[in-house]
Amino acid sequence: MHVTSDAGAPWLVVGLGNPGSEYAMNRHNVGFMVADLLAERIGGKFKRAGKAQALVVEGRIGPPGPGSRRVVVAKPMSYMNLSGGPVNALRDFYKVPVANIVAVHDELDIDYGVLRLKLGGGDNGHNGLKSMTKVMGSDYHRVRFGIGRPPGRMQVADYVLKDFSSAERKELDYFVDRATDAVECLVIDGLTRAQSTYNS
């Protein structure tokens, strides 16, 4: 499936997570971590986005001039399983084609720190993706950040809502930095280039 994106339209990069300081370092919140770093690179501060239940930063990424891309970085403030509503409201407000939306999220079926970029597909049981797909279809980009499977008999719901372990935290900044690079590459150079560079 090839979906062309409108070169003049902005991109909407959505970091998926749960609002609140108690969730900040959870595995499920790695999308927020990437969104925070991307916002820092753009040099903006998150603000409320009109009527949408989300925080956004607007800016440009890429080299100055015609090669740069207008981007809106968003963190839905609705809790993970209701992410679709705020994302859809932002899509309408900023007039973003679905093909210009990037969801950054945790992925159980990939080893910790490994990235996989793709366009479209199923939600693999991820409630944030499930909510997004329900309201706007599945033809948006995903940057999947591996968190690995829970150890032993730990329930998935418990695992994703636990903080990264101390061993994982030693490499977390590096992996979040790399995931942010991957988002920028996807927006500026396209999916094929980003996949060949970052799909490990």
Q: Please identify which of the residues 28, 105, 126, 141 carries the catalytic annotation.
A: 28
3-state SS, residue 143: strand
CA pair distance 41, 26, nearest whole angstrom: 22
Q: Sheet with 11-15: list strands edge to edge.
A: 47-49, 52-61, 69-76, 11-15, 101-107, 141-146, 115-119
Concatenated DSSP letters of 49-69? ETTEEEEEEEEEESSSSTT-E
Token pair belonging to 175: 């992996």
The answer to whether residue 126 is catalytic is no
- Residues noted as catalytic: 28
